[in-house]
Structure 1
Amino acid sequence: MSSQSFQIISTLRYDPALPNVVSQRGADASPDPLNTPYYLLPYHQDRLRNAARYFNWGNALKFLDQDYAQFVRYLDTFIPDKGKPWRLRLVVDRNGDCKVETNPAARIELENFLFPFIISPASTPWRIFVDSAYTIPSGHTTHKTTAREGYTAARARAGIVSLQDTAEVLLVNPNGEIMEGSITTPYFRRREEADQNEPEWITPPLSSGGNVGTSRRYALAQGFCAEQKITVKDLIDGEVCLLSNGVRGFILGNIVLKADRA
């Protein structure tokens, strides 16, 4: 794919109530990615920088290397109402031009964004399917770009027609390893006994081909999970799985392996 035909992207949540929830819960992370209405913004800026380096986009890197406070001021100009939550999609091209798409965000229990995660038992779990075709790992799976055709095709094969659907599909590499979700990072309970010093949850390593996600980085930094390969053969129909991304936080789900997806 030509470098002229795609942009690098990152999607995150703006929520004015987030810093207060962080303060009340005493949540912590390093560097401090939570002390801002922009969820994990330092991680998003890092993610975009790393993508610009990977694709050798010097002008984009110059824009992204601006001071963090300056970057916040830039994003602030795109927030229509700072008293409401928003979904932001940052789109940066090779010339360093940044477009920020802003849309209203649904209200979510903000504790779902923090470690330790509090997910209400009353919440309806997402259905999590497994793609029926393989995805070839590439720079466009490691780094988030507008080249999303493979993700769109995986969602279509799983029968997921809208971003509002409470459903996800897991991408699989040619070795049968879980890479990531189409819009989330997945977490699975360990298959073998873990000692008390090991996390209970695992997430696929980047070597399996998935995205360097921001909520994934947060979960690893907080010691919630460890990296470990997991294959389709390891999955169990109906098992509990967690998902996360920079807009919705952490989500409860169940693996669906049976053919009936209604």
Structure 2
Amino acid sequence: MRTILDSVGCSPHCSVLMDSVKDSHFMICRNDAIYCYTTDGLGPCYAIDGEKIMLQWFRSYLVIVAKESKQKSQNSTTPPIGIAKNHQYDTDGLIDIFRQYGDHLYSKGDHNGAIEQYIKTIGSLEPSYVIRKFLASHQIDNLTTYLQALHKEGVATADHTTLLLNCYTKLNQVDKLKEFIMTENRELDFDVEVAVNVYRQSSSEDDLLLAKKHNLHSWYLKIQLEDNHQFNAALDYLSKLTFTEAMIT
């Protein structure tokens, strides 16, 4: 019995059978998307704009030959990622796909899209690879987004913290800066002493608040004595410490 899966069809050379141990798909491409079919009917659909010329399956790769569209596609990374996962690619293989697609978007000037891809590489790709790109192009907003993600994933170094705080300062994002280091009831994902030192260099009064909040007594006294010359305030603070804390300080 013959079953019609699709009544529209596709242009010549724009269909391919993807056959793997895990599953099989018959894939066709039209100008608006790639359509996948299984024995049960229509499967996943991936929106990729552009006039397609050819669709081929090479080893573990789906190869799409198309004329470049003037409009940027919003979901063009989905098919290769989905297919890679179906073929049980290891983590390094997937990370390399994210990196390559990020590089492609960066070269096209789509910095927002590129940073989204680079964030997916955190934990595997060396952060300096991404940081250098966005420092060189003065894309401070996107660099800030990436640095925030590094801290969220718990892989940020002291240098990353310093750079993020300097980005906040350069962008004049005082509220975000305070939210990052002053928010209560959250697990610390940055080096407090680094943050205090950055604040200290910017002559901000918040360095005292941060040092006091995290019981960095030596830093608090150093700021009061060396920067503010508030000797009485320093003595008053010292008098409120326990004997052990005062001795250590």
Q: Give the TM interval when normalised to the shorter protein.
A: under 0.3
TM-score where L is the length of structure 1: 0.22
Give the structure, 1 or 2, with the largest relative contact order (CA under 8 Å, sep 6 or more).
1
Higher strand share: 1
Higher helix share: 2
TM-score where L is the length of structure 2: 0.23
